[in-house]
Structures are given as C-alpha cells and as structure tokens.
Amino acid sequence: MKTRKLGTLEVAEIGYGAMSFASTYGTAPDRAEAIRVIRGAYDLGVTFFDTAEVYGPFTNERLVGEALAPVRDRVVIASKFGWNVDPDTGERRPGLNSRPEHIRRAVEGMLERLETDTIDLLYQHRLDPAVPIEEVAGTVRDLIACGKVRHFGLSEAAAHTIRRAHAVQPVTAIQSEYSLWTREPEPEILPLCAELGIGFVPWSPLGQGFLTATISPSTRFEGSDWRNNFPRFTREALEANQGMVTLLKDMAAAKGATPAQVALAWLLARQPWIVPIPGTRRLDRVRENIGAADIPLTAADFEQIAQASARIKVQGARLPEALLQLSYR
C-alpha cells in the first residue's frame, strides 16, 4: 500500500480502527479471531492502527498490543486519553479527565498494555474544559521529550483549540468523524489542517456501516450495539437517508467497485494528508477497504457526487446529544 504523511508521521494511506473489537457494535468475536484479523490487516499492507484506553476500557489496547507485538517496529499505533478512566482498575467514571498527572499515569498504563516503549501518536480524546489545552499540550510535549510518546493529536477538537495546542506542541493529526454523510470538518478544520501542516484522520469513514449499503430500514442491531442510541439509526432516519446509499451504489456500479470503496476513495481524493481508519471484524472487509486506494475518482465523478449529495438532506444527528456537546470545543 502507498503511504501518506500525517504531519511528519508516515503511515499507510488506509489505516485500521480497532474499536470494532470492543463491545460497541455488539458481542465481539473471540480474542483469537480478533488477533487473526488485526494481523491479517498488517499482512495486507496496513501499518496504522488506532485504539484508545476507553475501548473496553483497556481490553482493546491489550488486544492491539498482543496482535502487533511481533511486528511492533513496522507499525504505527495510535491511542487516546481523556475520559475519566481509573488508571489502575479501568473503572469508567463520569466525565472527562485531562489533568497532567492523570495523562502521565494513563500513558504508563498504555505502554504496558500495548507492549511497547513508546506510543507513536497520542490523542486527547475530547477536550476537558477543566484543564487548559496549553497544559495538556505541555504535558504531551514533556512525554515526547522523554521518549514515551512520538506525536501529539486531538480528537473532535474545535479550530481555536487546535491553534492553541499547536502553539505549545505541534499537532500531528486531528481525528474527527468525516464521511459523505458527516461533513462538519469541512468549513474550518480541514482548511486549518492545510494551513498548519496537520494530518486528518476520519473516524467512522463508512458511517458506522451505513455507507457500505449493508444496512436497511429493517436492520436490527444487537442490544449492546451503540447505534441503537444514535439518531441516524432510527428506522425513520435509515429510510430517509437511503438516497446516500443509492448515490454510492450508482457510482460503485460505474466504477466496478463497492459502495464502501467509493466512500473511502472519495475521502482519499479530498486531500493527500487524509488517512481514513475504517474498522471491521472481518478480514474480507479489510481487503475490500484497502481496495479503495485503487478506485480513481475523476473531476467529473466529484462533480456528480457533489451535485447528488447536495440534494440529500441527511436526517438525524450524527451522535446522541450528550456526545455532541463534547465535540468541537
């Protein structure tokens, strides 16, 4: 696979989001199967893997650490701090926590769980309004200086927060939800990334599965699947948003591709410093996602997608209200 630059960090042009192996999308596969898929992704050319302490909590980092231990020197691992997770027990407590002492303790736990000496890319998962972003950036700067972290990132941060953080410690990457049906980063975040030389990592680049054209209004999710609580995944919203699926199906048919590949190819073609991290529990889907890099989109294709998507009013907020309030602050 070709590579791209997130700031100065070189990664494969399509990464892998490991959160899919948490219980977020219903009962996770057994550990051996999860490790097989993660290692299979590496064998297919993926070198950029994304996790977080809160996924589990802790269990996802341990899984990623074990799966990638044999190839640790050949991959880039990103993780995230910021939720109020007890560093010793993994107990999830209410609210956020980016106090400097908490960040330092969180990183020590990450290093152990990921079976590594350094975290390649460390994100603040959400802005903690109780801690100035300059303190957060300064703490990560110190962790970089002592070799425990290589690069600093922010997730779901507003433009003014990114600027303030970048002035203290250069930000390598911004991670936010971005896809054909989630366009919030376009007005301010993407232009700022271009200005400051920061990479952009779209999470949920396939719309939590919707843009793969495998979800219909009649789809029912497991009880523990978090999409049951998302406004865009009500029966009414799924039905109203089928126009987006039709758009992708039509373009996919013309390209000899799948809807998922078109959705990822669209992101790749937006900017050379955009690196999506689709997540899946299936190796055949990893192979399909990687194939998006070989789908060329012309200027005419972009215009067709732009005109068609402009006529589609996506129904439903992208996240529940409580999570939306924590984004772009």
What is the C-alpha separation between 115 and 234, in angstroms, rounded? 40
> Known catalytic residue: 55?
yes
Tokens representing residue 138 in the block? 């300064």
> For residue 322, how many other CB atoms are within 10 A of its CB?
8
Nearest 5°: CA angle at 59, between 56 and 63? 135
What is the C-alpha separation between 17 and 118, in angstroms, rounded? 19
Tokens representing residue 252 in the block? 């996919």
The beta strands (E) that lie in the chain are given as 3-6, 9-12, 16-17, 48-50, 76-81, 83-85, 92-96, 119-124, 149-155, 171-177, 199-203
From residue 170, alpha-carbon distances to 120, 125, 173, 195, 198 in Å are: 14, 17, 9, 13, 9
Identified catalytic residue from 16, 25, 42, 55: 55
Positions marked active-site: 55
